[in-house]
Structure 1
């Protein structure tokens, strides 16, 4: 009989402010590299699936020694980010057994999101479960867990009104802007990131009637791919400074380990601005 137990180590908007989450950010590629480098040679972790979104960073695992495994993963986070052990412990959580299972179900259902019932998180959970790299780490326990969580998230949205209107953090933020700005037709908007979140924000801005839409991404091809159907412009992250003086609204929708907009860049662009104040 296996004594292995499911657990999750993570941080999210529920326990950490944005400034702390930025410091604790780790690229998903680096997470898998760390698993291969530091964990694969031990018997502490039998299965693992990381889940990284703009609001959370979690690693679901299976171990016969979940407490020791969680401590190892916490130390890896400290080592990779340089954040003090005290700060990591203060703004993270470790859940085991039924609590870990229930947590993923809540996440997939949108109950742990800033906007309850937001639709995007279900796709992010699905993407984490189906990531080809996860196939090397995901065993039968996490396979069943993620399948059940995805089914639960879908059922919640089908049988309840929680997802009515396709709520998302992006749509909620846009509604606030609409009340402040009014007509978007004269607005030039910059969306940083062309992934799922960036594409969603871009579609919402175009639907709202934004005058000019610029999408910046690490790779130009992806930026153009998202921008073209929306009658937008695609640029690379390095090209952003050259456009700042034209921008009225900038939306961050990328998970990056460096700052794309710095105070110095914003100060320099303010003197050349051709419109009003820049809203971030």
Structure 2
């Protein structure tokens, strides 16, 4: 079995490609079920965010190609197109990659904290779908422990900067005085909640949150003195909005070019700053062609993000060191677990041999055979049955000059210093 991490992220694919391979929350359960049902996939977890789609699996020999074929079928994409922008890691590199993802070292915004929560959600979803076995369970637990240590012992989590913060920071370069600006936020997830908080802290006092359910929007807008509306009220709210930031899980765009054009006419063409953080996108790309709209996607936030990256590089180097230690701990636990499985298998075989010999001995006693002769025969059978396979293996190792196997046999079978039964 092989531990495999297969994915596409903001470094290997454009937002157009990423939105095609993203899994919506409603697709997640069925996707995990299909993935886990593949013949070569024995364990599976799926992480899908605006910047990455990654599959963590325990697979057989041909598992990678099988997963790629499935990913293409699920999203209606050509495997060749996926292969051009997909990356894969195996074994130790897969574990290292997951830990780097968890602490934000592989994020667009270095050290951003949201990814850890998203990864924990992916872990819970995989557990509910019965996609986790001993291998991935151990990996995720070690990963969460490393993430906690990095957050505690390094400065990477101080003054956390996220895509949400980067969006607000970019808006501040356009609007010198936020107190005069009205913001419309579309969605009610964690990212929008962060955007709302950052905007409020920056001085925005006129804030509207639009969501499919008004109740969820009120949870975000209420504490900040804002207004909550449903999605069908967006056209009216758009007329008053100077800042529009959207992040939903909707499969189709929420803001079209026609809707924005009508709002601009009513605004007398006052400019609007828009950021589309969603994947798939919430705002039609054609909106960016309008003269009075400044439209940005997550990929356009790179300048702000790079500035953040420079400030956090020292903490990132410390985190890399902790990750290496975490990978070592995972390897150690994996070896112990592997040894435990072998021990259980060996003892199970010994138990089966004992039970068979015992049944045969009891049957002979029931037939009235001499007890002393039955005991001698039992001892002889147990010796032959338990040592037959090791003896054949040692002869084969000797004929092939496999000294490592012969040395191991000597240690396991003849080293009396390890015999604690006396």
Superposition TM-score, scaled by structure 1 size: 0.89
Number of residue-to-residue matches in the alignment:
274
Q: Are 2:140 and 1:150 aligned?
A: no
Report the counterpart of residue 94 of structure 2 in structure 1.
100
Aligned to 2:15: 18
Please give the secondary structure, in 1, of the residue aligned with 2:144: helix
Unaligned residue ranges in structure 2 (runs of 5+): 275-422
Given candidates 150, 159, 163, the residue that maps to 1:169 is 163
The answer as to 2:6 corresponding to 1:9 is yes
Pick from 59, 76, 81 the counterpart of residue 63 of structure 1. Answer: 59
Deviation of the 1:184 alpha carbon: 0.9
With over 3 angstroms needed to count, the CA separation of the structure-2 counterparts of 1:275 and 1:268, relative to structure 1, is closer
- CA gap 1:12/1:255 in 2 versus in 1, 3 angstroms: farther
User: What do the CA deviations read for 1:89-127 (whole angstroms, capped 9, x no partner)?
Assistant: 222222221111111110011100111111211222122
Where 1:185 maps in the other structure, the secondary structure is: helix
- 1:106 and 1:116 map into 2 onto residues whose CA distance is 10
Q: Tell me how far apart the structure 2 counterparts of residues 50 and 156 of structure 1 sit (CA, whole Å).
A: 23
Higher relative contact order (CA 8 A, sep 6+): 1
What does 1:40-79 align with in structure 2 at a 5 Å threshold?
Answer: 40-65=36-61, 68-79=62-73
Take 2:16 and 2:153, find their aligned partners in 1: how far apart are those partners?
36
1:249 counterpart residue number: 243
Shifted more, 167-176 versus 44-53: the winner is: 167-176
Partner of residue 214, structure 2: 220
Question: How far apart, CA to CA, are the structure 2 residues paired with 1:145 and 1:15?
Answer: 25
**Helix, strand or coil: the match of 1:111?**
coil
Contact in 1 for aligned 2:35/2:44 (Cα 8 Å): no
Cα RMSD of the aligned pairs, angstroms, is: 2.0
Structure 1 stretches lacking a partner, 5+ long: none
Aligned equivalent of 2:231, options 237, 240, 254: 237
Residue 221 of structure 1, CA deviation:
2.1
One of 27, 52, 68 as aligned partner of 1:30 = 27
Q: 2: CA distance between counterparts of 1:95 and 1:201?
A: 33
| Separation in structure 2 between the aligned mates of residue 39 and residue 124 of structure 1, nearest angstrom | 19
Moved more, 244-253 or 230-239: 230-239
User: Which has the larger Rg?
Assistant: 2
- 1:42 CA drift (Å): 4.0
Output the CA distance in 1 between the equivalents of 2:112 and 2:36.
Answer: 35
- TM-score, structure 2 length as denominator? 0.61
